[in-house]
Copies of this chain bind each other. A is one copy, B any other.
Amino acid sequence: MPKPGREPAPTKDLVTAYLKEVKTKVDACIFDFLPTTHKHQDVHQLYQMMLDYPRRAGKGLRPALCLLICEVFGGDAERAVNTAAALELLQNWLLIHDDIEDGSELRRGEPCLHQKHGIPMAINVGDALHCKMWEMLHQNTDILGHELAFQILSEFIQLSNQVVEGQHIELSWVHNNQWNLNENDYWTMCIQKTAWYTCITPCRVGAIIGGASVEETDVFIEIGKSLGVAFQIQDDVLNLIGDIGRYGKEIAGDISEGKRTLVLIHLFNSCTPSEAQNVIDIMARPRTEKTEAEVQSVLQLMQKYNSIQYAQECSNTLLKEAVEKFNQNFAHLPDSRAKHLFLSLIHFFVEREY
């Protein structure tokens, strides 16, 4: 039974079915593209490692956004599948390197690549997938022609610059043991590190392939900022209160890793100075030097001060803003399955429980 106030079940089913449909198409494109066998056994092993993260079940949010927005503008989504697949490759090489940089343990329910094969090989596998992303974008020439293919490349370049900067900001906080962060610090990092590659670029490249004007394409910068941050906050919340079987990472892993989230910033703004110092003492230590009880004590403080609830409210507000911007700016576009699905999809992702 759907809970009161939620989307009715049929819409959720539509979204789930659509995500499945997109995943089938995009996976076919990726697994047709990535090499699988080589007569040199070490190279063969590299190929298997390159297939590891792409084979782990992701939700396929980014490709779905790309294909839907392409359709919203009346484009043929089939022409955007290759670009959507490149977005998945991007996600995979970023995650491999990100997991090393954060010292993470689990990714999508399995040990991280560097936990399985060591840091040196994992760095190189990430690089290999990174190269494959540009190769896949290069193949757009045959699908979209030189000019449009170059425009898409340009979008990925802009995105890459954003994401490495966002990543550096977050790594700096860890490196400098910096905890006195405000919400603005968080927005800046999160927009650069997450919103660009999760929402802004997927929507922009979909729009471009769909034939949107420059002005229409640019609207997705603002929409994507709100949406991307909303998704990230929801991800951070699920990290704290999710179900490990469905979420695929260790629960409260962000506390173990000392990750700066909106939840944590709210906690610092709400708790007593001595509680804050205690939290910092726990968060700042390497994960191996934290007990489960210490991690739980931080989680309990977050619950005591309603920090998780606060973050969820922010996430909902951002979603509402994104929907309003979308409706205001694209009222002139005809009602379509794609428009309806796009709005359902973004609700689904902010309200998801895994």
Contacts and interface: CB of A to CB of B under 8 A. Distances in A.
Interface of A: 40, 42-43, 45-46, 97, 100-102, 117-121, 123-125, 127-128, 130-132, 134-135, 138, 141, 146-147, 149-150, 153-154, 157, 160-161, 164-165, 167-169, 171-172, 174-175, 188
Contacts of A150: 138, 141, 146, 149
Q: Is the interface of A mostly helix, strand, loop or mixed?
A: helix
Nearest to A118: B175
A270 to B, nearest CB: 26
A45 B171 CA distance: 12
B171 A153 contact: no
Given A131-B160, A134-B157, A138-B157, A171 B119 contact: no
Nearest to A158: B135
Contacts of A153: 134, 138
A54 to B, nearest CB: 16
A117 B42 contact: no
B119 A135 contact: no
A127 B164 CA distance: 7
Contact of A100 (B119, B149, B167): B119
Given A40-B188, A43-B165, A46-B165, A127 B97 contact: yes
A120 B141 contact: no
A34 to B, nearest CB: 11
Residue among A147, A164, A165 facing the most chain B CB atoms (10 A cut-off): A164
A33 to B, nearest CB: 12
A121 B169 contact: no
B174 A120 contact: yes
Contacts of A172: 42, 45, 121
A165 B49 CA distance: 12
Contacts of A171: 120-121, 124
A133 to B, nearest CB: 9
A165 B118 CA distance: 17
B101 A120 contact: yes
Nearest to A170: B42
A276 to B, nearest CB: 22
A154 B137 CA distance: 11
Contact of A157 (B121, B131, B165, B188): B131
